[in-house]
Amino acid sequence: MTPPETEPGSPPRPAPTPAALHPAQAPASPQPAASPRAAQALASPQPAQPPAAPSPAHTPATPSPAHTPARQGLPARPTAEAGLPTRPAEAGPGRLLVVTAVEAEAEAVRAGADPLTVHVVPVGVGPAAAAAGTARLLALAEARGHPYRAVLSAGIAGGFPGRAEVGATVLGARSIAADLGAEAPGGFLAVEELGFGSSVADADAALLATLASALPHAVVGDVLTLATVTGTASTAAALSSRFPAAVAEAMEGFGVACAARDAGVPFAELRTISNPVGPRDRAAWRLAEAFSALTTATAKACG
């Protein structure tokens, strides 16, 4: 069927007369008339063409990634979705967030924890990385409408001899930033003495009681947070004297506690002992035993 030359209801288009055609041209085949919508689109003003790009000779060179000041030497930033569950947390109070420093610790925790109720994420080594990473995870979960019910800082740690031996499981009654303060001729001044805040974060009482009930053989005491791991007998003795209730030292607990406090989420710290606090002696480290104990502890407390 040949398409009509005009739209239904339109007046007939007069055929061109021979005089309107160039003598050398043959009449063109009739074209179907454009629909009203097409005609309107064609009649619409066309967007202005963008200005011509400058010639290559005058185009500033784009710095290569290796020379970009903002990212030079920095690891790739995780995406906004990294570390978050791909589906909503189970209904009710949400899941338990367990943060570790490194992936090896996270793997040990995952081996014992229930993945439906526990979310395990390594956030980095040291109090600053731990605070920033935990705060980000808490904020993103809150924005999604599925906040975590509590935060647990977990991993391996050094134990103070006579208080927590290698292979032991430790629960932090308090997480203390032991090196937050100032040196003075008379000794170390904690941040409290300087009037600049507190270096102590208490574990949530209800969460700590739940963990202690599930881990009746765990040693309960203070866990120190240090940006520098103790490696000498003199530092170990000084810390032991300043903190008589300390049973272990690690590097992230206080940072995680600060993030949890600011988000209004309960916090606690769980550690298993890989080495004694004192002179650095890698031959005395028992990492495999500590990781195994961490899996066992999380299976009992979070399985």
pLDDT tens-digit profile of 214-229? 999 999 999 999 999 9
Tens-place pLDDT, residues 95-118: 999 999 999 999 999 999 999 999
Higher pLDDT, 41 or 264: 264
| Model confidence at 21: pLDDT above 80 | no
Higher pLDDT, 50 or 144: 144
Alpha carbon 266 to chain centroid, angstroms: 18
Mean pLDDT, the chain, rounded, equals: 79
Q: Which pLDDT score is estimated for 93?
A: 53
Tens-place pLDDT, residues 285-300: 999 999 999 999 999 9
| Model confidence at 278: pLDDT above 60 | yes
Q: Which pLDDT score is estimated for 69?
A: 38
Q: Which pLDDT score is estimated for 3?
A: 43
Instruction: Please check whether residue 170 is in contact with residue 223, taking contact to mean a CB–CB distance below 8 angstroms.
Output: yes
Distance, CA of 107 to CA of 298 (rounded, Å): 11
| Model confidence at 1: pLDDT above 50 | no
Task: Provide, rounded to the nearest whole percent, the portion of the chain with pLDDT above 90.
Answer: 62
Identify the structural domains of the chain with CATH numbers, from first to last: 96-302 (3.40.50.1580)
| Model confidence at 163: pLDDT above 70 | yes
Q: 15, 140, 27: which is closest to 81 by C-alpha?
A: 140
Q: Which pLDDT score is estimated for 193?
A: 86
Q: Which pLDDT score is estimated for 10?
A: 45
Distance, CA of 257 to CA of 266 (rounded, Å): 9
* Phi and psi, residue 223, nearest 5°: -115, 120
| Model confidence at 177: pLDDT above 60 | yes
- Return the top range by mean pLDDT from 17-21, 90-94, 103-107: 103-107
Q: How would DSSP label each residue in the chain? A: -PPPSS-TTSPPPPPPPGGGS-TTPPPPPPPPPPPHHHHHHHHSPPPPPPPPPPPGGGSPPPPPGGG-TTTTTPPPPPPTTTTS-SSPPPSSS-PEEEEESSHHHHHHHHTTS-TTTEEEEE--SSHHHHHHHHHHHHHHHHHHT---SEEEEEEEEEE-TTTS-TT-EEEEEEEEETT-EEEETTEEEEHHHHTS--SEEEPPHHHHHHHHHH-TT-EEEEEEE-SS---SHHHHHHHHHH-TTEEEEESSHHHHHHHHHHHT--EEEEEEEEEESSS--GGG--HHHHHHHHHHHHHHHH-
Q: Which pLDDT score is estimated for 187?
A: 86
Q: Which pLDDT score is estimated for 2?
A: 41
Confidence tier at 161 by pLDDT (50, 70, 90): very high
Q: Which pLDDT score is estimated for 183?
A: 87
Tens-place pLDDT, residues 46-90: 444 444 444 444 444 444 433 333 334 434 444 333 444 433 333
| Model confidence at 266: pLDDT above 60 | yes
